[in-house]
Amino acid sequence: MKAITENAPLAPLTTLRIGGAAKKLWTVDSEDECVAAIRQLDQDGERFFVLGGGSNVVIADEGFDGTALHLIYEGAEHQQRDDDWFAIDASAGDDWALLVDALVEAGLSGVECLAGIPGLVGATPIQNVGAYGQEVATTIEAVRVYNRATQQVEELTPEQCGFGYRTSALKGNKDLVVLGVCFLLQRSPLSAPIGYRELAEKLDVELGERAEAEATRSAVLELRRAKGMLLDERDHDTWSAGSFFTNPILTVAEFERLGQRVREHCGDEAASPRFDAAGGMVKSSAAWLIEQAGFSRGEQRGEVALSFKHTLALTNRGDASATELLAFAHEIAARVDELFAVQLHPEPALIGVEW
């Protein structure tokens, strides 16, 4: 049954609590209804975007002159492949944080470092969601999509998904709408190898070692809470879209030029954090660059502020607008570019606004 609301406010459906109304909000509670809704919208020539948990999106103050397709359907099926491996077929509308909790509690390993990330399962392959040295791409076996070009439900392999750092072939591809994701996880009381130094130190293990999966999940939740990255209605530091900027991925030559700029601006002993990235590239730290550019935690512009706990989160202090938010974000990015010749790029999806 269609559940359509006219002139529907979207801000309450996002973690930033920012944005205007959609001409229509179509709430779908099953995969079949989602496919039928998309086919109907395409037939009518109606613009639409898919709204999941609203945790990684910035919506224009003017709202959206079309339909927001709101996914609320859930359901994950477990299939044992052999003694040690399980396939988890999760619906796009499943709550990601709750799913991770359930999987870890069931003794399945591979997503424990992704605990506490807000949003729905359908968004995870699009962004190749990752945190604390872990990415969903390492556990995804297949992604089920509706292909608007072929008007068919299709299953994509990881290779077809083209996963990269916080991106995939699904990102920005308006023809492909994620309906569900199949994860392949190992039954083990231990985590995957720990690949993030801060987490390794908290767990008191060496990089590359394993820890108890449940202890790893708990440690990640503690770290996220300390950085304002666990949703709390009462805490404006969590009224954000998470990390607003992705960490810059640079060539070796670009990183060397960054090093020179850092020494010129910050002193001869200063050095930008460096992490190896795929394809011989180098990843630096957006948060570190923002701080070195002179921005501090809690710094405010109108109703928008950098989180008091983490400089990568732009937060709504109560009644912020998308215009204010993006103006502050541009100010930060321009200053980093001016000082260090590094361009920062926003991580959230932008609806009705451009970067």
Q: What is the CATH number of the domain that holds 293?
A: 3.90.78.10
Q: Give the tens place of pLDDT for each residue, 283-341.
A: 999 999 999 999 999 999 999 999 999 999 999 999 999 999 999 999 999 999 999 99
Domain boundary among the residues 71, 86, 111 is at 71
- Mean pLDDT throughout 198-216? 97
* pLDDT in the model for residue 83: 85
Domain boundary among the residues 20, 38, 71 is at 71
* pLDDT in the model for residue 157: 98
Q: Does 231 map to a domain?
A: no
Instruction: State whether 212 and 337 are in the same domain.
Output: no
Q: Name the pLDDT band for 233 (thresholds 50, 70, 90).
A: confident
Instruction: State whether 276 and 183 are in the same domain.
Output: no
Instruction: State whether 27 and 109 are in the same domain.
Output: no
Q: Does 317 map to a domain?
A: yes
- Catalytic status, residue 347: yes
Q: Does 8 map to a domain?
A: yes
Instruction: State whether 170 and 297 are in the same domain.
Output: no
Q: What is the CATH number of the domain that holds 186?
A: 3.30.465.10
For 182, phi then psi, to 5°, come to: -105, 120
Q: Specify the number of domains making up the chain.
A: 3
* pLDDT in the model for residue 82: 86
Helix (H, G, I), strand (E, B) or coil at 344: coil
- pLDDT of residue 156 exceeding 60: yes
- Catalytic status, residue 62: no
Instruction: State whether 96 and 211 are in the same domain.
Output: yes
Residues 58, 325: Cα–Cα separation, whole Å: 9
Q: Name the pLDDT band for 163 (thresholds 50, 70, 90).
A: very high
Instruction: State whether 295 and 243 are in the same domain.
Output: yes
Instruction: State whether 26 and 102 are in the same domain.
Output: no
Residues 23, 47: Cα–Cα separation, whole Å: 10
Q: What is the CATH number of the domain that holds 23?
A: 3.30.43.10
Instruction: State whether 34 and 116 are in the same domain.
Output: no
Residue 166's domain comprises 76-226
Instruction: State whether 191 and 313 are in the same domain.
Output: no
- Mean pLDDT throughout 21-41? 97
Domain boundary among the residues 226, 255, 285 is at 226
* pLDDT in the model for residue 1: 53
- Mean pLDDT throughout 96-109? 97
Q: Does 131 map to a domain?
A: yes
Catalytic: which of 31, 112, 324, 347?
A: 347
Q: Give the tens place of pLDDT for each residue, 103-155.
A: 999 999 999 999 999 999 999 999 999 999 999 999 999 999 999 999 999 99
Catalytic: which of 166, 217, 224, 284?
A: 166
Q: Name the pLDDT band for 2 (thresholds 50, 70, 90).
A: low
pLDDT > 70: what percent of the chain?
Answer: 99
Residues 228, 240: Cα–Cα separation, whole Å: 9
With residues binned 3-state (H G I as helix, E B as strand, rest as coil), the percentages for the chain, rounded to 5, are 30, 30, 40
Which helix (H) or strand (E) segment is 3 a member of?
A: strand 3-9
Instruction: State whether 9 and 143 are in the same domain.
Output: no
Catalytic: which of 55, 91, 168, 243?
A: 243
Q: Does 52 map to a domain?
A: yes
* pLDDT in the model for residue 253: 97
Instruction: State whether 94 and 205 are in the same domain.
Output: yes
* pLDDT in the model for residue 137: 98
Residues 264, 274: Cα–Cα separation, whole Å: 18
Instruction: State whether 174 and 246 are in the same domain.
Output: no
